[in-house]
Amino acid sequence: MPLNHCQIQALLDKGLVYNQQEVQHLHDAGVILKYEHRAVNPASLDIHLGKTILIERHNENGRPISYRKREKLPMTEVDITNRPYVLRAGEFILAHSIEVFDFPSDLGALLRIKSSQGRIGFEHLDAGWVDPDFAGSLTLEYKSMLQFNSIELMYGDPIGQLVFWPCDEVPAEFSYKKVGRYGGHAGVEQIK
């Protein structure tokens, strides 16, 4: 059952991160389009590893990647639907969430690594802010911080958690759907 205007306004007036009940309401309101009830934590939502990852590979021409030119990394696409991927020490990958979102213009979120992952050296780069009005699955940037061991990753693994923050409504001309580079996709995306 969708939230009515008064219920939504009451959540916004609090100005705090959303709790378990409020996160569940986001599903009812159509913000979280794929959702498992058991993924809701006291003040966050577990995010799960999608079926496709992109693995950084050696740059054969030997020149640096230009951020200014928005050059894509040389990467290999791997489908992990039916078999795990072993992330080697120091390796970098792009992945995506199974969950799909349709954020309103007055709600943002921050992706954080789960403490259990941090304890095995699995790190999400600090690029996890989700702007109001974002729609689609999340592209995730991961690196193994280990020096001597590997980490097995499987489709559906919980790989992070989203913390939701209400904010003042973003004006239409600054809407992420209008000015954002990423969104509207249901898989992993490289730099644009």
Residues assigned a catalytic role: 141
Helix 20-28 to helix 5-14 angle (10° resolution) is 140
Residues 128, 131, 134: CA angle, nearest 5 degrees: 105
Q: List C-alpha distances in Å: 192 to 71, 72, 189.
A: 8, 8, 8
Half-sphere exposure of residue 52, counting CA atoms within 13 Å on the CB side? 13
CA distances from 86 to 27, 95, 122, 154 (A): 32, 14, 12, 9
Cα separation, 77 vs 94, whole angstroms? 9
Task: Report the C-alpha gap between 16 and 167 in whole angstroms.
Answer: 9
Q: Give, for 55, the enclosing helix (H) or strand (E).
A: strand 52-56
